[in-house]
């Protein structure tokens, strides 16, 4: 499956039924630490995992259960990100899904870059700048 480079965030969520609608909640971190602006209107794509959460025991990790989730990136992934912070060693930092930190050496706050994920650990990943991008108006 091909995923658009315009993707701002990716997370898993259950569909919840209310009185007359169904709701998918956006995790708090996607707004406070990610690229979701609560003042903007967003397009949403729904992808089925092929698994049903009704009447099954959890086979994956879940933040709600206090378990640690797998990193949301894999070695070899390419992403377009905005550098939002500077790390202790002067490297650029960006946050992807669920606020997961990717360290990008040679990038500065405000840079918009295409990165290649070189190394993934449980709590952090390391990316290399492949291309520097201009912001489109």
Return the domain boundaries, the chain. Answer: 78-133
Whole-angstrom CA distances from 4 to 20, 32, 78 are 32, 23, 11
Q: Is it true that domain 78-133 has CATH number 2.130.10.10?
A: no
d(CA 107, CA 129): 7
The number of C-alpha atoms within 13 Å of 52 and in the hemisphere containing its C-beta is: 3
pTM of the model: 0.53
Confirm if 129 and 68 have CB atoms less than 8 A apart: no
More confident residue, 18 or 9: 18
Q: What percent of the chain has pLDDT over 90?
A: 38
Taking the chain, what is the end-to-end CA distance rounded to the nearest angstrom? 28
> Is residue 52 predicted with pLDDT exceeding 80?
no
Confidence of residue 8 (pLDDT cuts 50, 70, 90): low
């Amino acid at each position: 499956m091909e995923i658009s480079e315009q993707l701002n965030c990716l997370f898993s969520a259950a569909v919840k039924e209310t009185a007359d609608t169904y709701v998918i909640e956006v995790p708090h971190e996607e707004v406070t630490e990610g690229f979701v602006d609560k003042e903007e209107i967003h397009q949403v794509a729904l992808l089925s995992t092929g698994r049903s959460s009704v009447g099954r025991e959890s086979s994956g990790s879940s933040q709600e259960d206090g378990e640690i989730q797998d990193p949301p990136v894999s070695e070899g992934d390419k992403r377009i990100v905005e550098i939002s912070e500077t790390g202790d060693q002067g490297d650029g930092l960006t946050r992807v899904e669920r606020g997961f930190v990717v360290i990008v050496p040679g990038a500065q706050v405000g840079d918009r870059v295409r990165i290649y994920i070189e190394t993934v650990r449980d709590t952090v990943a390391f990316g290399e700048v492949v291309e520097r991008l201009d912001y489109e108006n």
